[in-house]
Homo-oligomer: A and B are copies of this chain.
Amino acid sequence: MNQDHEKQQLHLPRGFSFSAATAGIKASGKPDLALAIAAEGASAAALFTTNRVAAAPVQVGRDHLARSHGRMRALLVNSGNANCATGKAGHIACRQICAAVGDGLGMSGRQVFPSSTGIIGVPLQADKILARLPQLIAQAEATEAAARAFAGAIITTDLRPKLTSAQLKVGNKTISILGIAKGAGMIHPQMATMLVYLFTDAEASPAALQGHLRAAVDLTLNCISIDGDTSTNDTVLLLASGNSGLKLQSEGVRSKFAESLAAVCRSLAEQIVGDGEGVKHVVRLLVQQARSREEADQVARTIAHSLLVKTAWAGADPNWGRILAAIGRSGVPLDPARVDIFFGKQQVCRKGEAVSFDEKSAHLYLSQPQYEITIQLGRGKSSSEFLTCDLTAEYVHINADYTT
């Protein structure tokens, strides 16, 4: 999948500086350490993996948010090692690194938010990270180049860094939102954690931020599925410096901000699904006429996780029977005789039965790198949109050939 996000000029929110370094955690020798500093502090909100196996940084990050009452002054990310299933030693290493960042910036380690991504079950070499911290702190800059370096240092198996930004004007003031992400489920998925960092200069309380973050993520980053596996390190963090002078909760800002935040999250979600050598087709599933949003989601997820459906997509095969069978086992008590299925605008199933359609044009439609499939359940008025992708032989080759 080709994307032009690298060429976009970024809107940088005020109050943040960035830097990156190579600590030698990645065997490749590529940059693997990234720092973001909010010198005057930032309100913070976060969402974490629901996996019961949560890595040390997820647990420490949650703890630091609670103890600092949602005020953070730095974010430190390492790639190459997830610091997961590493026991007590993993926790100690994580806290030690946070404390060292705090020392370097003259503040408490509890105001440092840690993230890790990479291999599971291998001890994190904290000394390699500690040795790079002075350089990392000294070089932090509030520039686009530094933000791009940050994005480059947090990726693992991603083919390219993932950034996007948005700006909204209210009167003569502006709010910027910068989004940086990593994640590409198709390659070496042991290192396929989704990390998303959102930076803004809006002014907001941690509680208000949390509500905005939840709403934006529910409609975007929570509606993507590559392979159905939830990582042990998944983290979405939103930091708000307040430097724009615009209060998030004020009239005329709230709804515009919500819209822009969702747009940033949506772009990052698309970049994540579209990344990875294995992905040939990005599929937007539109499930309509459900009784509730939950019901629509359930149908969309079942389709998105069906191996038979995903392999049919890899071959651009207009095999709607597999989609109908997936709908039928979704657990929603629907009547198959009311189900309609469309590839783009072309109807392929009406009231649960075949309709005659041009298979060649359907095949051509499904051969595109990105397309839409609409499912109408004939039960109600709720709908859901879900972004997913095909399952190719490359996915299997890459994941089977990866050895610990």
Let me know if A378 is at the binding interface, CB within 8 A. no
Let me know if A87 is at the binding interface, CB within 8 A. yes
Hey, what's the 0/1 contact readout for A309-335 against B, CB within 8 Å counting as 1? Answer: 001101101111110111111101111
Looking at the complex, which one of B320, B328, B391, B395 makes contact with A121 (CB distance below 8 Å)?
B320
Q: Which chain B positions have C-beta within 8 A of A229? A: 306-308, 322, 325-326, 329
- Pick the most buried of A305, A320, A353: most chain B CB atoms within 10 A of its CB: A353
Contact between A328 and B52, CB atoms less than 8 A apart? yes
Contact between A353 and B315, CB atoms less than 8 A apart? no
Looking at the complex, which one of B87, B190, B332, B354 makes contact with A122 (CB distance below 8 Å)?
B354
**A320 CA to B53 CA, complexed, in Å:** 13
Contact between B231 and A307, CB atoms less than 8 A apart? no
Q: Which chain B positions have C-beta within 8 A of A192? A: 308
Contact between A315 and B401, CB atoms less than 8 A apart? yes
**A402 CA to B311 CA, complexed, in Å:** 9
Contact between B396 and A400, CB atoms less than 8 A apart? no
Let me know if A397 is at the binding interface, CB within 8 A. yes
Contact between B396 and A314, CB atoms less than 8 A apart? yes
Let me know if A120 is at the binding interface, CB within 8 A. yes
**A228 CA to B322 CA, complexed, in Å:** 13
Q: In angstroms, how far is the closest chain B Cβ from the Cβ of A329?
A: 4
Contact between A403 and B317, CB atoms less than 8 A apart? yes
- Pick the most buried of A306, A318, A349: most chain B CB atoms within 10 A of its CB: A306
Looking at the complex, which one of B52, B311, B328 makes contact with A395 (CB distance below 8 Å)?
B311
Question: If A190-B308, A402-B315 touch, does A119 touch B321 (CB 8 Å cutoff)?
Answer: yes
Q: Which chain B positions have C-beta within 8 A of A260? A: none
Looking at the complex, which one of B50, B52, B329, B396 makes contact with A52 (CB distance below 8 Å)?
B329
Question: If A317-B400, A353-B85, A354-B121 touch, does A393 touch B393 (CB 8 Å cutoff)?
Answer: yes
Hey, what's the 0/1 contact readout for A37-72 against B, CB within 8 Å counting as 1? Answer: 000000000000011111000000000000000000
Let me know if A227 is at the binding interface, CB within 8 A. yes
**A312 CA to B393 CA, complexed, in Å:** 14
Q: In angstroms, how far is the closest chain B Cβ from the Cβ of A195?
A: 16
- Pick the most buried of A85, A306, A392, A401: most chain B CB atoms within 10 A of its CB: A85
Closest B residue to A363 by beta carbon equals B403
Contact between A51 and B120, CB atoms less than 8 A apart? no
Q: Which chain B positions have C-beta within 8 A of A231? A: 325
Contact between A120 and B321, CB atoms less than 8 A apart? yes
Contact between A190 and B322, CB atoms less than 8 A apart? yes
Looking at the complex, which one of B120, B326, B363, B396 makes contact with A393 (CB distance below 8 Å)?
B396
Looking at the complex, which one of B119, B232, B335, B393 makes contact with A397 (CB distance below 8 Å)?
B393
Let me know if A267 is at the binding interface, CB within 8 A. no
Let me know if A352 is at the binding interface, CB within 8 A. yes
Let me know if A104 is at the binding interface, CB within 8 A. no
Q: Which chain B positions have C-beta within 8 A of A314? A: 396, 399-400
Contact between A321 and B391, CB atoms less than 8 A apart? no
Question: If A121-B354, A400-B317 touch, does A189 touch B232 (CB 8 Å cutoff)?
Answer: no
Contact between A359 and B404, CB atoms less than 8 A apart? yes
| A–B pairs, 20, beta carbons within 8 Å | A51-B329, A52-B332, A52-B333, A53-B324, A53-B329, A85-B353, A87-B352, A120-B325, A121-B321, A121-B353, A189-B308, A190-B319, A228-B305, A229-B306, A229-B308, A229-B322, A314-B400, A315-B399, A315-B400, A315-B401
Extra contacts besides A52-B336, A307-B391, A396-B396 (14): CB < 8 Å = A51-B328, A52-B332, A53-B327, A85-B352, A120-B324, A120-B325, A121-B321, A121-B354, A189-B322, A229-B329, A230-B328, A312-B402, A314-B399, A317-B400
